[in-house]
């Protein structure tokens, strides 16, 4: 049985294969800063593919760090909600919230709406022209904050009627085609129609002021109210030049694997910073959990990930008093984890050498005693 271990691997081995870092190590400190706030996980255990806010935030960072705009932005993530030091938002060019929202007495208010103090902090950023984005459940807002959220991002899921949980908005989970709704808008640069399995929120409250909103995604299969009940993503430019974006998509983590889903969100992050979206849109590969972990756990700080990791296999397992693999294999693991570019598997089945699986690896390390 193969046991996958997420590890960085050996620098010397990488050099032996002629593979060095191929991505920039991060943008200059003067580049516009994107801040992503991830709320605590809900809807089951971490990694179950639903409301995996932390993984979404980490994936967005790794994608942007390894994208065609890597030298134009810097990305800062805060896991488990509001930053310990709200001053981290003061130099943000845009702020994205990926979190739960309050639904009547259930769940908790999204971080940006969790207290008057938090609202004041966000309003301060909005007043200076900072971008603002909400994602999936963080689009839920009570009527008391309708004015703010309609100004900040342009729309919200309305769960409240007269202070009670009586939805104006609606939810439906289905496999459906998502249509780009406003050809020519920068957020839709390079975006084609796509199909996803999604928990769509629709029949939203959208800004109707002079600036209003521009629909970005619509889902024709939804039974939404006319004229805009099928809108599930939107963009807004405020009077002061600040930009907002929201989408109710994002319930299922697997949707990040869709190139057009992730390109839309990445375009929106870049656009709300005030930058121009590159021709063809933001290009970024999807990264696995293992690749994300490797990219964000390098010695000395965040290391760049590789779109195609180097795969290594350690074969071990046979024991001798003078060759104690239970001790030496962990020691090898500890030594190897100083490089963020490899994925390493450990196997106790020497028979794996006789299978075609061995051809999947770039590096083979034998730590095995056999007469």
Q: Which residues pair with 233 in a beta bridge?
A: 217, 247
Alpha-carbon Rg for the chain in angstroms: 23
Whether the CB-CB separation of 155 and 246 falls below 8 Å is answered with: yes
- Check whether residue 128 and residue 242 sit in a common domain: yes
Residue 299: inside a domain, yes or no?
Answer: no
Q: Which residues contact 371 (CB under 8 A, 6 or more apart)?
A: none
Residues 224 and 316 in one domain: no
pLDDT of residue 206: 98
In a domain, 319, yes or no: yes
Pick from 253, 272, 291: which residue ends a domain? 272
Strands (E), the chain: 2-5, 33-38, 74-78, 92-98, 131-135, 140-141, 155-158, 160-161, 164-165, 170-180, 194-202, 205-206, 214-218, 231-237, 243-247, 310-316, 342-347, 363-367
237 within domain boundaries: yes
* Same domain for 258 and 317: no
Domain count, the chain: 2
Q: In this structure, is residue 106 part of a structural domain? A: yes
The pLDDT assigned to 10 comes to 31
Residue 211: HSE in the Cβ half-sphere, 13 Å Cα cutoff: 17
Name the average pLDDT for the chain: 86
**Mean pLDDT, residues 14-34:** 48
Residues 33 and 13 in one domain: no
Tens of pLDDT, residues 53-63: 999 999 999 99
Conformational region of residue 41, where left means phi above 0, alpha means psi within -120 to 50, and beta covers everything else: beta
Q: Are both 339 and 255 inside the same structural domain?
A: no
Query: Same domain, yes or no, for 44 and 161?
Result: yes
101-133 pLDDT tens trace: 999 999 999 999 999 999 999 999 999 999 999
Q: Is 263 exposed, middle or buried (0-12, 13-18, 19+ CB in 10 A)?
A: buried
| CA pair distance 42, 48, nearest whole angstrom | 10
Query: Is 17 contained in some domain?
Result: yes
Residue 306 above 80 pLDDT? no
Question: Within a domain: residue 292?
Answer: no
Query: For residues 325 and 329, what is the distance between their CA atoms, to the nearest angstrom?
Result: 5
For the full predicted model, state whether its pTM sits above 0.85: no
Do residues 326 and 240 share a domain? no
**Residue pair 275/72 in contact by the 8 Å Cβ criterion:** yes
Mean pLDDT of 1-10: 37
210, 71: one domain:
yes
pLDDT of residue 45: 86
Residue 143: domain span: 24-272
Cβ contact 61:19 at 8 Å:
no
Q: Choose among 98, 55, 135: nearest CA to 296.
A: 55
Contact in structure between 244 and 236 (CB atoms under 8 Å) = yes
Is 296 a member of any domain? no
Domain boundary among 230, 248, 272: 272
176-203 per-position pLDDT tens digit: 999 999 999 999 999 999 999 999 999 9
Report the alpha-carbon distance of residue 142 to residue 267 in Å, rounded: 28
110 and 173 housed in the same domain: yes
The CATH number assigned to the domain holding 233 equals 3.40.50.880
> How many residues are present in the chain?
371
CB 367 within 8 A of CB 315: yes
Residues 251, 340: one domain? no
CA–CA separation, 12 and 36 (whole Å): 35
pLDDT of residue 35: 97
Asked if pLDDT for residue 312 goes beyond 90, the answer is no
For residue 305, is pLDDT > 60?
no
Residue 300 lies in a domain: no
Residues 230 and 310 in one domain: no
Span 143-176, pLDDT tens digits: 999 999 999 999 999 999 998 999 999 999 999 9
Q: Are residues 12 and 93 in the same domain?
A: no
Cα separation, 354 vs 258, in Å, equals: 36
């Amino acid at each position: 049985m193969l046991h996958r271990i997420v590890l960085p691997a050996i620098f010397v081995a990488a050099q032996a294969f002629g593979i060095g870092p191929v991505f920039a190590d991060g943008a200059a400190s003067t580049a516009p800063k994107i801040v992503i706030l991830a709320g605590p996980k809900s809807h089951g255990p971490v990694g179950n593919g639903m409301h995996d806010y932390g993984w979404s935030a980490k994936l967005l960072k790794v994608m942007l760090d390894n994208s065609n705009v890597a030298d134009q932005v810097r990305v800062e993530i805060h896991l488990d909600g509001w930053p310990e030091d709200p001053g981290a938002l003061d130099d943000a060019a845009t702020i994205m919230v990926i979190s739960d929202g309050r639904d009547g007495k259930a769940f908790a208010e999204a971080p940006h709406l969790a207290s008057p103090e938090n609202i004041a902090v966000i309003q301060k950023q909005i007043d200076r022209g900072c971008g603002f984005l909400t994602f999936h459940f963080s689009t839920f807002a009570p009527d008391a904050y309708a004015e703010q959220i309609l100004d900040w991002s342009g729309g919200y899921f309305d769960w409240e009627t007269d202070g009670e949980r009586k939805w104006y908005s609606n939810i439906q989970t289905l496999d459906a085609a998502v249509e780009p709704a406003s050809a020519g808008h920068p957020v839709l640069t390079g975006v084609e129609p796509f199909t996803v399995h999604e928990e769509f929120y629709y029949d939203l409250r959208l800004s109707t002021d002079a600036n209003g909103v521009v629909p970005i995604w619509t889902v024709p299969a939804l039974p939404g109210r006319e004229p805009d009940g099928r809108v599930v993503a939107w963009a807004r430019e405020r009077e002061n030049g600040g930009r907002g974006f929201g989408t109710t998509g994002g319930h299922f983590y697997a949707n990040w694997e869709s190139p057009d889903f992730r390109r839309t969100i990445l375009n929106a992050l870049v656009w709300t910073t005030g930058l121009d979206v590159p021709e063809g849109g933001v290009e970024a590969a999807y990264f696995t959990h293992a690749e994300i972990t490797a990219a964000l756990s390098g010695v000395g700080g965040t290391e760049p990930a590789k779109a195609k990791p180097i795969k290594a296999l350690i074969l071990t397992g046979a024991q001798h008093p003078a060759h104690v693999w239970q001790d030496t294999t962990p020691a090898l693991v500890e030594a190897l984890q100083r490089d963020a570019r490899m994925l390493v598997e450990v196997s106790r089945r020497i028979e794996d050498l006789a299978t075609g699986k061995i051809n999947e690896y770039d590096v083979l390390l034998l730590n095995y005693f056999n007469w």
